């Protein structure tokens, strides 16, 4: 055999060996198992001052898998490891992950649970967006309060948000919702004896007179006319009894689990109640969907005129008008049983928030409570790691 032939054979052998090793390594990599992480959701909400633990399950966990709890830094644009865990050596292993309170002092945080690659399994990750509620406690007099972010579909501040309470004229948010959705805004309604006799009605309703439904919507939302709410119910459903059935059906459809209506206006009555969370949910629904609603609650006043020529200027009961350009309007409610209530809309850094308070101790406290929660939005709502 010539020297050239021997050299060629050696080169061929080396190449074949390298090809074998490359093929083997690919096969080995292909045989690695997929790693499965369960027990943690994509979205988590928790009070910032409460301990937050999540028990995750890792499969496979053979060989004691390394698990990293990481928090995304918007400043550095990368995940940073907060804590390292080692799993048990088993096919399936549970690990209890603790999210440190010190890293939950901002409203938004993107967390990653990262399981490193092992000799038998691939790496895997699970990402959760965590919302921290009540970064600080606000000194508010109301019985219940909620700050709800329409864009994120979650609340960021709570005080007894699911407590069933009287809500006074915030009831009219549902009455307005059903009128707007009925597609009868361009129609008109004749005032019945029942509507005319309903107390606390402004403008004064006269039996037999008529108003456009859009005018009645203004009367409900600005000076909070109870008679207008009765007239609207009769126009949409034929009777207040049938309309109230529709109110409760709509509440159920929206997921308002702590709400029950017995009238259209919110005057104190047995078995008539809602919660701060449910009311915020209702406001977020109609505010998002109806330009007409958004336009009306932003007004300071409105000149109403009946078919018989009765004319009057209606003024909004919203005393936050002029407080801030971020305040986009709202609805007040006041009765002996409900106390002083308000549900307002506030826009901060391109996100829209609904703030609902129920049962403030006085009219002054109502507006102080609202301003305090608006300040909370300014200070904490947009904060993120």
Question: Which residues pair with residue 81 across a beta bridge?
Answer: 70
pLDDT tens-digit series, residues 88-97: 999 999 999 9
Give the Cα separation of 178 and 275 in Å (integer): 19
Active-site residue, 128 included:
no
> pTM of the entire structure?
0.87
**Reported confidence tier of residue 31, pLDDT bands at 50, 70, 90:** confident
- Catalytic status, residue 239: no
What mean pLDDT value characterizes the chain? 94
> For residue 152, how far is the Cα from the chain centroid?
6
d(CA 155, CA 158): 7
Give the active site residue among 172, 214, 250, 331: 172
To the question of domain 36-133 being in CATH 2.60.40.10, the answer is: yes
Lowest mean pLDDT among 146-150, 199-203, 252-256, 303-307: 199-203
Q: For residue 68, what are the β-bridge partners?
A: 84, 114
Please report where in the chains the tokens 């006041």 appear, as a residue.
334
Residue 112 scores a pLDDT above 50? yes
Task: Return the axis-axis angle of helices 213-221 and 172-181, rounded to nearest 10°.
Answer: 160
Is the pLDDT at 29 greater than 70? The verdict is no
Is residue 5 predicted with pLDDT exceeding 70?
no
Confidence of residue 1 (pLDDT cuts 50, 70, 90): low
The residue annotated as part of the active site, out of 169, 201, 284, 360, is 169
Host H or E run for residue 326: none
Sequence-separated (6 or more) residues with CB below 8 Å from residue 138? 157, 372, 373, 375, 376
Is residue 172 part of the annotated active site? The answer reads yes
244 near 237, Cβ under 8 Å?
no
Catalytic residue among 108, 224, 275, 316, which? 224
**The token pair that represents 239 in the structure block:** 């009777």
Q: For 144-187+245-381, which CATH class?
A: alpha beta
Which part of the chain has CATH 3.40.710.10? 144-187+245-381
User: Where in the chain is CATH 2.60.40.10?
Assistant: 36-133
Q: Residue 9 pLDDT more than 70?
A: no
For the segment 285-308, what is each residue's pLDDT rounded down to a tens digit?
Answer: 999 999 999 999 999 999 999 999
């Amino acid at each position: 055999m010539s020297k050239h032939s021997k050299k060629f054979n050696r080169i061929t052998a080396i190449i074949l060996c390298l090809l074998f090793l490359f093929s083997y390594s690919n096969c080995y990599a292909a045989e690695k198992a997929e790693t499965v992480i369960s027990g943690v959701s994509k979205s988590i909400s928790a009070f910032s001052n409460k301990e937050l633990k999540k028990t995750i399950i890792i499969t496979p966990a053979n060989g004691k898998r390394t698990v990293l709890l990481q928090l995304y830094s918007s400043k550095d644009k990368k995940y940073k490891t907060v804590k390292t865990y080692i799993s048990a050596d088993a096919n399936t292993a549970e690990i209890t992950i603790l999210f440190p309170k010190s890293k939950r002092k901002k409203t938004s945080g993107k967390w990653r649970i990262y399981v490193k690659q092992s000799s038998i399994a691939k790496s895997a990750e699970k990402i959760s967006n965590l919302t921290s509620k009540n970064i600080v406690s606000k000194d508010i007099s109301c019985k219940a309060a909620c700050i709800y972010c329409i864009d994120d579909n979650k609340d960021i501040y709570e005080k007894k948000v699911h407590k069933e309470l009287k809500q006074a004229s915030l009831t009219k948010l549902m009455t307005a919702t059903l009128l707007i959705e009925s597609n009868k805004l361009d129609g008109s309604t004749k005032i019945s004896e029942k509507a005319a006799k309903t107390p606390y009605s402004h403008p004064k309703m006269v039996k037999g007179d008529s108003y456009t439904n859009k005018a009645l919507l203004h009367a409900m939302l600005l000076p909070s006319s109870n008679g207008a709410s009765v007239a609207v119910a009769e126009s949409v459903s034929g009777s207040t009894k049938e309309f109230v059935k529709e109110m409760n059906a709509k509440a159920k459809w929206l997921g308002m689990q702590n709400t029950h209506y017995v009238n259209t206006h919110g005057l104190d009555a047995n078995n008539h109640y809602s919660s701060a969370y449910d009311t915020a949910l209702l406001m977020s629904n109609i505010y998002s969907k109806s330009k007409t609603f958004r336009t009306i609650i932003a007004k300071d006043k409105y000149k109403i005129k009946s078919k018989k020529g009765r004319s009057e200027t209606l003024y909004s009961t919203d005393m936050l008008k002029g407080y801030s350009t971020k305040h986009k309007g709202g609805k007040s409610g006041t009765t002996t049983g409900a106390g002083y209530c308000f549900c307002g809309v506030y826009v901060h850094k391109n996100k829209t928030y609904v703030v609902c308070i129920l049962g403030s101790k006085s009219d002054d406290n109502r507006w102080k409570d609202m301003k305090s929660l608006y300040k909370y939005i300014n200070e904490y709502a947009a904060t993120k790691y």
